[in-house]
Amino acid sequence: MSENNHTSQESSDSLWHRNVFVLWFGVFMTGIALSEVMPFLSLYIDTLGNFNKNQLTFYSGAVFAITFLVTAFVSPLWGKLADRKGRKLMLLRAALGMAIILFLMGFVTNVWQLFALRALQGAMGGFVSNSNALIATQTPKQHAGRALGILVTGMTAGNLLGPLFGGILATVFDYRMSFHITGAILLLVFFLTLFLVKEDPQPKISHIAESSTRKLWQQVPNKQFIIGLFITTMFVQMVNTSINPVVSLFVRELTNNAGNTTFIAGVVAAMPGIATVLVAPSFGRIGDRVGTERMIKIGFMIAVIAFIPTAFVTSITILMVLRFIVGISDATMMPAVQTLLSRHTPTAMTSRIFSYNQSFQAIGSVLGPMLGALVASIYDYRGIFIFSAIIIIINAILFNFNTRNLKS
C-alpha cells in the first residue's frame, strides 16, 4: 500500500510540474504576443495609409491601447465563465483565439482592420489569469507559491523580451510574417495545453468565488493601503507603456532614418526588460533586508533620475543606457508591490487581490500609450519622458502619504 501511495505522490508531483512547465511557455508567448509589436507597430501602420506625423502618432497609440482597454472590461466575464466551465477550457479558447487573430493581423490592408483585430485580441484574453487560477487550484498547497512565482516570471519575461523578439522577426522577415509566426507559435500553445495540461474538477470553487468576495474584502484590515498599491501599479505601468507606440519613431528620428530602425527599436524597447530580469532577484533579497516600502521609494528616485535626461538624448547608446536604468527602477518597484499586497491581504483573498492589481495594470497599459501619444503630438516625442517623470513624482507623493497613513 505504501508503494501505491508513493507512486501516487510521484504522479501528482509530475502532474503539477508539467502543468507549470506548459503554462509557463503559454504565458510567456502571451506576453510576447502583447508586446512584440512595440518596435514596429507605428512603422507597420505607416505602410497602411498616407498619414502625417500627428495622425501616425494618434493611430499608433489607439491601436496599441485598444487591446488592454477591451481586456480590462472582458476579463471578469471570462473569469466567471471559467468558474462554471473550467479553467482549461478558457485556456484553450484564449490560445486558439489569439493564434487566429495574430495570424490575421498579417493580412490587414488598412489601420481600422488592425484596430479591430487588436480589440479582438483583448477580447480573447484570459490565458494568464486562468493559468494562475488553474495552477493555484491544481498544485499541492506546499508548492503553490513556488509554482505561481514561476508562472509570473513567464509573463514578465514575455512582456519584457517581446520587443526584442518582435524586432528580430521584423528585421529577418517582415512585419506581416512576424504576425504569422507568432500566430503559429500560439497555435502550438493551444495543442500543448490541450494534450498536456490536466485539470481536476473542483465543484466548490464556483460557489466560493461567487459568494465570498464582498465578505473577504470586509476582512482586509488596510483597504486604503491596498487600493493605494493598485494605483501605484497603474501609474508605474502608465510610465512603462507611454513610449511604446512611438518608440520606433523616436529611434528613427535619432538615427536619421537608418535602415535597421526596427531592430534598434526592438533593442531599445527591450532594455528595461533585460535590466529587470537581471537585477530583480538580487533586489528582492535586498528588499527583505532594507524593507519593501523603502525599495519602492528607491525605485521612484531611480526612475526620475533616468527619465529626465532621456528627454535630451541625442545618442542611441545613451538612450539604451537610460532605458536600462528604467528597468532597474521597475525591478525595485513591481516585485515589492506584489510582496506588500500578499503581506496585507487575507490568504483566502490573495488570488483575487492579485487579479484586481492586474486590472489596474491593464488600465495603466491603456492610459500610458494614449497619454504618451497625446503628449507627443503636443510637445514632440521628448515630452513623453518629462511627462513620465512628473507621473513618477506624483506616484511617490501618493505612496508616501499612503504608507504614512498606514503606520499611524
Q: What is the pLDDT of residue 285?
A: 63
Quote the percentage of the chain above a pLDDT of 70.
81
Question: Which carries the bigger pLDDT value, residue 155 or residue 229?
Answer: 229
Question: Which carries the bigger pLDDT value, residue 395 or residue 213?
Answer: 395
What is the C-alpha separation between 201 and 137, in angstroms, rounded? 10
What is the C-alpha separation between 64 and 66, in angstroms, rounded? 6
pLDDT in tens, 247-288: 878 888 888 877 677 788 878 877 887 787 777 667 766 766
Q: What is the pLDDT of residue 205?
A: 47
- The SS3 assignment for 59 reads helix
pLDDT in tens, 217-236: 676 777 888 888 889 989 98
Domain that holds residue 195: 1-210
Among 210, 225, 240, the domain-final residue is 210
Residue 259 shares a structural domain with residue 346? yes
Residue 4 shares a structural domain with residue 61? yes
Confidence of residue 10 (pLDDT cuts 50, 70, 90): very low
Residue 22 shares a structural domain with residue 160? yes
Q: Are 303 and 240 in contact (CB under 8 A)?
A: no
Among 153, 185, 210, the domain-final residue is 210
Among 176, 192, 210, the domain-final residue is 210
Task: Read off the CATH number of the domain in which 119 is found.
Answer: 1.20.1250.20
Q: Are 146 and 139 in contact (CB under 8 A)?
A: no
Q: Are 273 and 328 in contact (CB under 8 A)?
A: no
Of 73-82, 169-178, 187-196, 200-209, highest mean pLDDT:
187-196
Classify residue 114 by burial, with Cβ atoms within 10 Å: 0-12, 13-18, 19+: buried
Q: Is the pTM of this model over 0.75?
A: no
pLDDT in tens, 74-126: 776 776 677 667 788 888 999 999 999 999 999 999 999 999 999 998 888 77
What is the C-alpha separation between 78 and 123, in angstroms, rounded? 9
